[in-house]
Amino acid sequence: MLTKTCGRTGRITRAAGLALALSVSLSGCTTISDWFVDDEELEIRRLAPLDAQFVPTVNWEAEVGEGIDGYFSHLRPVYANEKLYVADRHGTVAALDPESGETLWEQNFAIFKDEGMFSSVSNLWKSGASAKIGGLSVDGSRVFVGTEDGVLMSLNAETGEVNWTQTVNGEILASPVTGDNLVIVNTGSGILYALDVETGEQVWEQVGDVPPLTLRGISTPAVSNGGVILGTPTGKIQVNILDSGLIAWETPITAPSGATELERIVDVDSAPLMYGGTIYAISYNGTLAAVELRSGRVIWKREYASYRNVTMDGNTLYVVDNNSHVYALDRRNGVELWSQSGLKKRVLTAAEPAGDYLVVGDKWGLLHWINKEDGKIVARYDLGGDDEDESVFAAPVYTGNAVIAVTREGDVASFSVP
């Protein structure tokens, strides 16, 4: 798609025919595509002119599989072991060199007829059934891959070879986590599993409540101080004893309200954010809370609603709410420091701290750099060619000297950080 940029540097991505003519302004000008959207969407897609403080530098671009297409997914690259681990929904898992984007190893877990789950076929994967990968994490020498069919795989982080596979009862839509030689898996069925990290054998399970209507997504657990901390679809923060799975305590941070099931959705889908002895968590229907890890006591609450992860740098929390407003708050008391509403309803990712900035991606494939001190947007880059199929759906990853972003179509790009 050819992107009209009204005076700033653009890029060309794959597309053909009429798509070449369909573009949208990144700085407020009108294009042909404006004729095909309603007024509300047109207003969302138009962005105020940007007085850029710098131009993001692209280090490299690569493709890993075919991304997640139009499906819901929390799949996000992982930086570990001086490698970048990336997966697509269909079944590709790869390790890349973060400096060059070169593929170090690649596995394909698409399901092929008469060949089983672990076919080595790499060029014919489109004829196979999707592995439906939903979760990816790395712990030292192991890469853990979970699927919507409830399959958990342990791979060698250096080679991609399969160590073991295990099946659990429920979709794996969140990243597995590890601690004390256990791998913890939270599933869409409401069952929390602990498996032996060496063998994949089940050690314990804990069954939780699931309301009649919940969000498509689940909380990635955190492991700390001998406990497993997670958000629940019933609006609680829950801590399970790591050795046994027994619930140590659970604290509601929000309560259902409203006349319909839709209005009463209270999921805490974000991963709990840990700092010292405090858990920070946010619910879909409007509560950001700081909770004491030892006792479950609520330290403070504020009215912010989100299903995205809360991030932190120093003493500042960063929240992207359901309407894509970005906020900075003092983690010690919840006092709001600044807000940024210029990207409203653009379906932003969570905000990733990167040096002096926050980086967010949006529905139309744009990356935005926000100054952490005052919330002003200071730079922008069109990674997706203004194409919803190329949206930046997962929070960018900061490696310490570069920002990594991935689109729905599996395009991966590295940017230098000023």
For the cut 60, the answer to whether the pLDDT of residue 19 exceeds it is no
Which has more pLDDT, 327 or 125? 327
Token duo for residue 349: 């990712």
HSE (CB half, 13 Å, CA atoms) of 270? Answer: 32
Which has more pLDDT, 8 or 47? 47
**Region 279-285: what's the mean pLDDT?**
95
CA distance linking residue 255 with residue 236, whole number of Å: 9
For the cut 70, the answer to whether the pLDDT of residue 269 exceeds it is yes
Among 39-43, 59-63, 83-87, 116-120, name the one with the lowest average pLDDT. 116-120
* Strand, helix or coil for residue 388: helix
**Region 276-301: what's the mean pLDDT?**
95
CA distance linking residue 174 with residue 193, whole number of Å: 13
For the cut 70, the answer to whether the pLDDT of residue 301 exceeds it is yes
pLDDT for the residue 281 = 96
Among 24-28, 46-50, 54-58, 289-293, name the one with the lowest average pLDDT. 24-28
Cβ atoms < 10 Å from Cβ of 243:
13
* Model confidence, pTM: 0.86
CA distance linking residue 393 with residue 367, whole number of Å: 11
Number of H helices, E strands in the chain: 1, 32
Residue whose entry in the numeric block shows the structure tokens 């498996």: 195
Provide the mean pLDDT of the chain.
87
CA distance linking residue 225 with residue 188, whole number of Å: 25
For the cut 70, the answer to whether the pLDDT of residue 126 exceeds it is no
Split at pLDDT 50, 70, 90, the class of 90 is very high
**Region 358-376: what's the mean pLDDT?**
97
CA distance linking residue 132 with residue 155, whole number of Å: 17
pLDDT for the residue 261 = 78
Helix (H) or strand (E) holding 159: none
pLDDT for the residue 320 = 98
pLDDT for the residue 374 = 97
**Region 340-356: what's the mean pLDDT?**
96
pLDDT for the residue 117 = 52
Which has more pLDDT, 215 or 18? 215
CA distance linking residue 307 with residue 286, whole number of Å: 10
Q: Where are the domains of the chain?
A: 73-216
Ramachandran area for residue 404 (φ above 0: left; ψ -120 to 50: alpha; else beta)? beta
Which has more pLDDT, 111 or 332? 332
For the cut 50, the answer to whether the pLDDT of residue 337 exceeds it is yes
**Region 309-338: what's the mean pLDDT?**
97
pLDDT for the residue 377 = 97
Cβ 296 vs Cβ 336: under 8 Å: no
**Region 166-179: what's the mean pLDDT?**
95
pLDDT for the residue 37 = 56
Which has more pLDDT, 142 or 120? 142
Token duo for residue 208: 């939780």
Q: Per-residue pLDDT tens for 185-195?
A: 999 999 999 99
Q: Per-residue pLDDT tens for 385-398?
A: 867 778 999 999 99
Level-2 CATH architecture, domain 73-216: Beta Barrel (2.40)
